[in-house]
Structure 1
């Protein structure tokens, strides 16, 4: 019985946000596939495709497609393909975020309206759009997961604009969980500690965050993409059937410090 709760064979899911083999989304995809799930994977654009397509082939991904959530119609086309080829969906992993460099590296006080709106659209509202498209495909319930960070809750030096944006994402997770719960759809945020990913490298002085987390976290180590993947695979399965609306930390306990 216990083994069955962690068995994802027969489940199908979409993982969005793989950029390379250092991506959090890649750690999640590997863990989900290792647990038996069938996967649909996306790449951002033609520039990213050569980095992502071999990874998709490595996992034997059943569906692959380009996805830039800022391009009108691409998200809808992807879900139409999933419905056409699979007929349903069991889980979804949202691991994308973006803010214009000038806004990201400046003060929140000085952020532009356009930059804030773009960061919110890509990093937060796209998850809500995915939830809307996934809902009719999750007829037997399902699991929606989004990646966040401690900067949503606490002021983290140099995290800047992404703090308010991730706070909005975490609030969205709670509201989506409340609205979709009656349909058996669970919604959770996963909050890894700082990880040396390409996306994180855009944050100013990110090396300081990494060093501080490793030196001060109770476990004295950084989390890895495989640590995040393990939690993701658990949340996708039936063992997490009563867990929804929360932010779950994978950071060696760093979040408990002041």
Structure 2
């Protein structure tokens, strides 16, 4: 039974880097649901990885930091994909931590603006340039974080960037409503075990703490976030737009867990 209603439909997934990527997990769920998945990756090296992981999928390269590349990949996809796109996944984020973590007030302008461009504006730009390819009732899904209201020092300026990404959802939903029923939503997972997150200073300790803070004492799995993304891409979520779905296994409700508190107070 095609419960999600995605069988035979085409979804473009931006952002696969390797087998641990959120984009890879989403692609696998979509393939299981019978969808045709088109991958858009940053480089030819990642394209080789994508082709090995998804041999039946079309794979294109696009560095979204340059908007002209988004236009070029749209045209390339339009040439090879005839049917309207049921959805687009934006699983892209970047922050320059090459000089280590700095206090937030010392954030460099060029680093902050680059992060905004790649992690937030690219979603808006993809929506704009792909609007003619999207089905009238298509769905766009981005990946955020479980909360942008917590000052995690080792996440630096990315939380404000993700907050901007989340805010863009309602504005995109409103502006697209003038000519379509395309929906814009975000999956907001707790800490995941991905290669990208491994590059964040001190992430392992934060990940282990987050696992203890979940109600089930087990970390959120990447596939759990991918399952929610597939739901948001499907007609089953047709009544939802401009929303952020938190996938954190209850972590956000459990900061005063007695076991955690007792360890701190010893």
TM-score, length-normalised on structure 1?
Answer: 0.92
**1:64 counterpart residue number:** 59
Name the structure 2 match of 1:73. 68
Q: Report the CA distance between 1:208 and its aligned residue.
A: 1.4
Match of 1:168 among 157, 164, 168: 164
Is 1:50 matched up with 2:48? yes
- Residue 205 of structure 1 deviates from its aligned partner by 0.5
Shift of 1:152: 1.7
> Displacement, 1:154?
2.1
- CA offset digits 1:30-82 (Å, max 9, x no partner): 0011111111102211333332220121xx11x21111112452211111122
Residue 163 (structure 2) pairs with residue 159 (structure 1): no
Equivalent in 22, 25, 29 of residue 24 of structure 1: 22
Shift of 1:102: 4.3
Correspondence 1:203-222 to 2 at 5 A:
203-222=200-219
Distance in 2, matches of 1:53 and 1:184, equals 32
Q: Which has the larger radius of gyration?
A: 2
1:83 counterpart = 2:97: no
Segments of structure 1 that go 5 or more residues without pairing to the other structure are none
Q: How far has the Cα of 1:180 moved from its partner?
A: 1.9
Contact 1:188 1:247 in 2 (8 A): yes
SS of equivalent residue, structure 2 residue 177: helix
Secondary structure at the residue paired with 1:47? helix
* Number of equivalences: 253
The equivalent position to 1:251 in structure 2, one of 248, 252, 255, is: 248
Cα deviation digits, residues 178-228 of structure 1 (max 9, x gap): 222351111001111111111111211101121111111112211112111
For structure 2, the 5+ residue unaligned runs are: 256-266
Asked if 2 retains the 8 angstrom alpha-carbon contact of 1:107 and 1:161, the reply is no
- Higher mean alpha-carbon deviation, 42-51 vs 142-151, is at 42-51
Aligned partners of 2:67 and 2:125 also within 8 Å: no
Q: 2:120 matched to which residue of 1?
A: 124
Secondary structure of 1:25's match? helix
* CA distance in structure 1 between the aligned counterparts of 2:250 and 2:99, rounded to whole angstroms: 30
Q: Which residue of 2 aligns with 1:110?
A: 106
Deviations 1:104-158 (A, max 9, x none): 7212211111111100000000000011122222242210001111342322231
Inter-partner Cα distance in structure 1 for 2:166 and 2:99:
21
Counterparts of 1:85 and 1:50 in 2: how far apart (Å)?
A: 19
Q: Judge conservation of contact 2:40–2:61 (CA < 8 Å) in 1.
A: yes
Q: Secondary structure at the match of 1:40?
A: strand
Matched-pair contact (CA < 8 Å) for 1:45–1:66: yes
**In 1, Cα distance between the equivalents of 2:60 and 2:87?**
17
Over the aligned positions, Cα root-mean-square deviation in angstroms equals 1.7
